[in-house]
Structure 1
Amino acid sequence: MATSHDGLRSIGELAEQAGVTVKTVRFYSDGGLLPQASRSAGGHRRYGPDALGRLRLIRSLRALGLPLPEVRRVLDEEDAEDAGTGAGAGAGSALEDAVAGQLRGLGSQLRALRWREAALRLVQECPPGERADRLRLLGAVPGPPSTAPLARFWRGWLPPRMPARPAAAFLEAAVPQPPEDPAPAQVLAFARLNALVRRPCTGGERPQPVAHAIAGAGGSAVLYAGLAEAYELAGVQLRAEREPGPGEALDGFVAAYVSAYGARDTPDFRRVLAGQLAADPRIDRYWELVAEVITPRGGPAEPTPGSAHDWLCAALDGQTAAATA
């Protein structure tokens, strides 16, 4: 409560009643967040009846972690509402936006801390002879971990001039996102995946599947769209632990190549396709590590585009072998 006869508070009275230091009040005043009502005859600051509530609001906003520019926007909105110029659908939006931004930032910090904790446990729990290697792997992964090296790897693998939309759809399926609350084993798998894609390719350029050269840029978009559907169907079979065999998934798989090549689905086409796919370069280790990254702790292995592709190739091999016999 103000002690002065004019209802105004001195800077010391305001600081005492708000539970802060005089230096804090002066800081917010000098920054324009806490306007003073007047100056005394001796030049001392005087604050009006609303100053205590405003100072308490500033302290609350700062306690939530809001930076000063955000605090200023919230106060400006409050002032506009009090003046009758800011009421309506947007009232409180500055505070809502600021809180939402803080929550996003805090979520990112928590994910980074969980990742760091799992990485520390990975080092703590490994045998002494393996620590140097694990530290080397972890040191090459930025914190929080980035998927940019994985995306670059696949952009070099995909056909040149492939349309942006199907390329982005493939990258979304092929590039695993780091788990928000990873187990140490998932951190190790992601670090190994990062090292794998950064490793120089032997012989210069990365080998490309024959399918890319045959389909071309435009046909590749058709091919990968069809493969995405076939992989999803094969994933259902993998989760059900069914053996590779004929059915909708295999027919969709073959149809993707038929559409991309402008061919017809015949037994001869399937036989030639099976041989071509068997000769294509493989990156099995990549998909093994992806499965380790995306599989929940203690859960069954999650299908990947790689495991789905292998299931479909096995189904195609079995079908063509049976037809030949």
Structure 2
Amino acid sequence: MTASVSASFSAAVPVSPEGTWSIGELAQQAGVTVKTVRFYSDRGLLPEAGRSTGGHRRYGPEALDRLRLIRSLRALDLPLPQVDRVLADGDSNADPDSALQDALADQLNALGTQLTALRWREAALHLLHDCTAAERADRLRLIGAMTTPPNTTTLARFWRHILPPRLPARLLSTILDEAVPQPPADPTPPQVLTFARLHAVVTNPGVLDINICGPTPRPPSDHCRPAVLYEGLREAYGLAATDVQTQQTPHAGEALDCFVAAHAGLRNTPDTPAFRRQLSAQLAQIAHPLIDRYWQLAAEIPALTPKPTIGACDDWLRAALDTQLAYA
């Protein structure tokens, strides 16, 4: 161990006339048990100064420095493999402080994960405690079906089933990022309930009935261009976001034109008044209650950026199309 790490652990401790301690004397100096010293020594973490004539281990002052350092690292709950790496880097003349910083950073990350899990458990307990007996049975069933914190893999799997299989990986990743809400690190009890209900939605057996090529009936496979549709829809949602967020009445304009063009692009057909009437009828027919419920719940979860959900933008644009047709 280099001086830069062990200096703060050094102390003027008297040693035997030979300048060494037995395993019992080292344990006494460090304030630990002989079993602890033997454990770390057997792992190769404590340097031996030599052996007595009877073959017993002898330790010098450097072993006491090392033992105190190990105890400090273990008091921070650093696992032994990380302690090994910190000590090994010091022994190899690498930067021991860098190894220690890495180990502490890993431990901080692990502790953050544990704290998040505890906050979710606490919020879930409050949710169950502060409700009526009639509500408690249903909430207990919902929470019992979900991990805490919730695993968003289940939500992503829901969208992977619904979305067309031929979407480019980049586009699919972008859609999933926007469609799957992230669990807050410090949730409120209502947010725990919202995620539990989301989990119930995406694991509902009715999900198996949702199998569409975009929000329109599936055309022949040689004419279906889902990437064109979803790239266009993302642009349309972006154009409509401000009006949705400010609760503007759905109306015709650039966002609606982009929305219709995306659906027309899916079928490689022109945007005409007749197509708009057909599209409005098709969109009304394929609305699915599970998807509607998903977006209702997703809107209740605070996002990292304040913007409307994909579902809210899609509803607004569908209403804008119906409004335009009503006055055409």
Q: Say if 2:209 is the partner of 1:205.
A: yes
Paired residues of 2:181 and 2:303 also in contact (CA < 8 A): no
In 2 relative to 1, CA 212–20 (structure 1 residues): closer, same or farther, beyond 3 Å?
Answer: farther
Residues 151-186 of structure 1 show CA distances to partners (whole Å, capped at 9, x for unaligned) of: 222222112333333222222222222221111111
Paired residues of 2:161 and 2:211 also in contact (CA < 8 A): no
Alignment-derived partner of residue 299 in structure 2: 291
Paired residues of 1:18 and 1:56 also in contact (CA < 8 A): yes
CA distance in 1, matches of 2:228, 2:113: 37
Give 1:102 shift. Answer: 1.6
Q: Secondary structure at the match of 2:99?
A: helix
Alignment of 1:265-280 (within 5 A): 265-280=271-286
Q: Say if 2:101 is the partner of 1:96.
A: yes
Q: Say if 2:256 is the partner of 1:250.
A: yes
Query: Which residue, out of 64, 67, 83, partners 1:52?
Result: 64
Alignment-derived partner of residue 180 in structure 1: 185
Alignment-derived partner of residue 61 in structure 1: 73
Give 1:216 shift. Answer: 4.9
Residues 27-47 of structure 1 show CA distances to partners (whole Å, capped at 9, x for unaligned) of: 111111112111223433211
CA distance in 2, matches of 1:113, 1:51: 39
Q: Secondary structure at the match of 2:166?
A: coil
CA distance in 1, matches of 2:182, 2:121: 16
In 2 relative to 1, CA 113–212 (structure 1 residues): closer, same or farther, beyond 3 Å?
Answer: farther
Alignment-derived partner of residue 309 in structure 1: 314
Query: Which residue, out of 192, 196, 219, partners 2:201?
Result: 196
CA distance in 2, matches of 1:147, 1:16: 51
Give 1:219 shift. Answer: 1.4
CA distance in 1, matches of 2:210, 2:247: 33
CA distance in 2, matches of 1:252, 1:93: 53
Gap runs ≥5 in structure 2 = 1-12
Paired residues of 1:119 and 1:187 also in contact (CA < 8 A): yes
Alignment-derived partner of residue 74 in structure 1: 86
Paired residues of 2:166 and 2:227 also in contact (CA < 8 A): no
CA distance in 2, matches of 1:18, 1:237: 69
Q: Say if 2:287 is the partner of 1:281.
A: yes
CA distance in 2, matches of 1:212, 1:27: 68
- Equivalent position amino acid for 2:209 in 1: E
Give the root-mean-square deviation of aligned CA atoms. Answer: 2.4
Q: Percent identity?
A: 58
Paired residues of 2:194 and 2:300 also in contact (CA < 8 A): yes
TM-score (norm 2): 0.86
CA distance in 2, matches of 1:169, 1:269: 29
Give 1:273 shift. Answer: 2.2
Gap runs ≥5 in structure 1 = none
Paired residues of 2:150 and 2:183 also in contact (CA < 8 A): yes
Give 1:251 shift. Answer: 2.8
CA distance in 2, matches of 1:98, 1:4: 35
Paired residues of 2:47 and 2:62 also in contact (CA < 8 A): no
Give 1:233 shift. Answer: 2.9
CA distance in 2, matches of 1:101, 1:212: 49
Q: Say if 2:137 is the partner of 1:137.
A: no
In terms of mean alpha carbon deviation, does 172-181 or 109-118 score higher?
172-181
Paired residues of 1:287 and 1:306 also in contact (CA < 8 A): yes
Number of paired residues? 311
In terms of mean alpha carbon deviation, does 114-123 or 57-66 score higher?
57-66
Q: Say if 2:234 is the partner of 1:228.
A: yes
Alignment-derived partner of residue 6 in structure 2: none
Residues 100-123 of structure 1 show CA distances to partners (whole Å, capped at 9, x for unaligned) of: 222222121111111111100000
- Equivalent position amino acid for 2:324 in 1: Q
Residues 122-173 of structure 1 show CA distances to partners (whole Å, capped at 9, x for unaligned) of: 0011111211111111110023311222222222211233333322222222
Alignment-derived partner of residue 264 in structure 1: 270
Give 1:206 shift. Answer: 2.5
Give 1:93 shift. Answer: 4.0
Residues 64-98 of structure 1 show CA distances to partners (whole Å, capped at 9, x for unaligned) of: 221111111111110011xxxx36xxx64433332
Alignment-derived partner of residue 28 in structure 1: 40
Give 1:11 shift. Answer: 2.4
Query: Which residue, out of 23, 26, 34, partners 1:14?
Result: 26
In 2 relative to 1, CA 247–18 (structure 1 residues): closer, same or farther, beyond 3 Å?
Answer: farther
CA distance in 2, matches of 1:304, 1:235: 9
